Amino acid sequence: MNVMAKAEKKISSAFIYFFGSFGGILFGYDIGVMTGALPFLQADWHLENAATLVGWITSAVMFGAIFGGALAGQLSDKFGRRKMILMSAIVFMVFSVLSGVSPDMGEASAYYLIIVRALLGLAVGAASALVPAYMSEMAPANARGRLSGLNQTMIVSGMLLSYIVDFLLKDLPGEWAWRLMLGLAAVPALILFLGVLRLPESPRFLINHGDEAGARQVLTYIRKDTSEIDQELKSIKETAAQESQANKKASWSTLFNGKYRYLVIAGVGVAAFQQFQGANAIFYYIPLIVEKATGQAAASNLMWPIIQGIILVAGSLVYMWIAEKFNRRTLLMLGGTVMGLSFILPAILNWIMPNMNPMTIVVFLCIYVAFYSFTWAPLTWVLVGEIFPLAIRGRASGLASSFNWIGSWLVGLVFPIMTASMSQEAVFAIFGVICILGVLFIKTRVPETRGHTLEEIEAQGTKHASK
């Protein structure tokens, strides 16, 4: 056994799972950090009446992530999950710093920041794709559900961390506050890089590249029962062979043939609805939402993102507790219904009572976030991971991820444009209608996956194709 192997042998499984999922912190931090930075940035660069530029600056990360996720998936199959997570951390560090040192050149500054944040988005998209893949390949089968919940908890914890950092920096001079908020994203990226340096490559990748001895070695220090390692190695090799055959036979047209169309539409539709329901409008713009509702300066409303972050973290823990106690469809329909009503009711109340307390809409937004946090936020990716048959899983999962990022980008882009031309209550009512449409989609187009084997789920697609 060489020195590297001895060093790796000492790594605890807790260390591996913690840093394996730590990429979620980066993902969450960059989703949340612009929430607090934006009011200061707007004031510093005089962008209060530049809704389109504000939308692009905010959403540029998601635009880059559309391509980062797809690119990382391809490259990680060639170079390994671990190396690509390290590369993502480096890209994240570099472009976080470049965001913080944006030159002040008038309108050209905004275009500079849009480009830099789009490149940063490559790392965000890569982390969102690589972390779940690495975790699923490292975790024992009976722990994958809980570790999926751990990844969601890491993401929302990253969001909460960014909200707290924003709050702590809010009393700095405006031109320094937003720069430090954006630049400090490099710190968790550095922590991730140093942690992942000590992590091993996943056994699945090693098997796919002919290194069975290396895969066995990794399994010896992440599995408590070493007597089952031979069986797990055999299972990994069989699955890898099946997927290799499936990938040779599958094409993009395969996704939409009669046998698979029902399941592809279901999985991609859920991923798209998760974003088009408007959650990220709250996460990106809550200080500006409160400012428009109350007239108080957005920079003085940075406690509200922290409240939203606490709700998100609490909801992710609730999900880990109830995940296997309720059907996926039941939770998604419950969550979508309450979310929709939380958006629609303020518009109705404002129409009935024009002098309604303006903070009412913020209370309803908190209710929305609470139900989103333990239903659509985690369950979308649980369902996407379960619903696609082996023969199309790679392409279908990539398509679902792309639609999710496109939805995230569009919501971030158009929300400030929409609120510049209509009332917030009307904008959220539109999102509320989309939530209700999402519930109808779940009820009519999405099969239940909890407790069903992949073969049983695939049989439902075949059944629908024959109708």
**pLDDT, tens digit, for every residue of 185-218?**
999 999 999 999 988 888 888 888 888 888 888 8
pLDDT band at residue 141 under the 50/70/90 scheme:
low
What mean pLDDT do residues 68-91 have? 86
Residue-level pLDDT at 21: 82
- Report the CATH number of the 250-467 domain: 1.20.1250.20
Is 464 exposed, middle or buried (CB count within 10 Å of its CB: 0-12, 13-18, 19+)? middle
The architecture in CATH of the region 11-199 reads Up-down Bundle (1.20)
* Domain spans, the chain: 11-199, 250-467
Other Cβ atoms within 10 Å of 117 Cβ, number: 27
What mean pLDDT do residues 120-134 have? 85
Question: Which of the residue ranges 90-104, 251-265, 354-368 would you say has the lowest mean pLDDT?
Answer: 251-265
**pLDDT, tens digit, for every residue of 379-390?**
998 888 788 876
Indicate if the pLDDT at residue 456 is higher than 70.
yes
Indicate if the pLDDT at residue 163 is higher than 70.
yes
352 vs 135: which has the higher pLDDT:
352
Indicate if the pLDDT at residue 4 is higher than 60.
no
What mean pLDDT do residues 80-85 have? 89
Indicate if the pLDDT at residue 453 is higher than 60.
yes
Q: Which DSSP string do the residues of 368-412 spell out, in sequence order?
A: HHHHHHHTHHHHHHHHHHHHS-GGGHHHHHHHHHHHHHHHHHHHH
Q: What is the mean pLDDT of the chain?
A: 86
Indicate if the pLDDT at residue 439 is higher than 60.
yes
What mean pLDDT do residues 337-344 have? 97
CB-based contacts of 180, cutoff 8 Å, min separation 6: 100, 169, 172
Closest by CA to 85, choosing from 161, 198, 166, 172, is: 198
Indicate if the pLDDT at residue 395 is higher than 60.
yes
Residue written as token pair 């391809």: 74
Cα distances from 200 to residues 22, 181, 216, in angstroms, run 15, 32, 12
168 vs 225: which has the higher pLDDT:
168
Residue written as token pair 């699945």: 204
In this structure, is the dihedral angle defined by the CA atoms of residues 95, 96, 101 and 103, taken in order, positive or negative? positive
**pLDDT, tens digit, for every residue of 304-334?**
999 999 999 999 999 988 877 889 999 999 9
Indicate if the pLDDT at residue 359 is higher than 90.
no
Q: Do domains 11-199 and 250-467 have the same CATH topology?
A: yes
